[in-house]
Amino acid sequence: MLAQGHAPWFVGWGTLALINAGLAQGKNRSGLVWFLLSVLFGPLATLVLVLMPKVRGRIF
């Protein structure tokens, strides 16, 4: 079990991962991959995702 003081941190980290997944999908990237990266790396994954350009659609 989590100690009571750690619950807000855990919820915030999970919320950030969900936000990053949505941001990744908006940039035509895999939401699941970025969700998992965000769970592991948190704000660092957010920074990398924000700085990455949007993927162009493929012709084929």
Give residue limits of the domains in the chain. Answer: 12-49
59 and 32 Cβ atoms separated by less than 8 Å: no
Please report how many Cα atoms fall inside a 13 Å half-sphere around the Cα of residue 18, on the Cβ side. Answer: 6
> Is the model's pLDDT at 59 over the cut of 70?
no
Q: What is the pLDDT of residue 33?
A: 97
pLDDT band at 8 (very low <50, low <70, confident <90, very high): confident
pLDDT, tens digit (0-9, with 9 covering 90-100), for 14-49:
999 999 999 999 999 999 999 999 999 999 999 999
pTM as predicted: 0.79
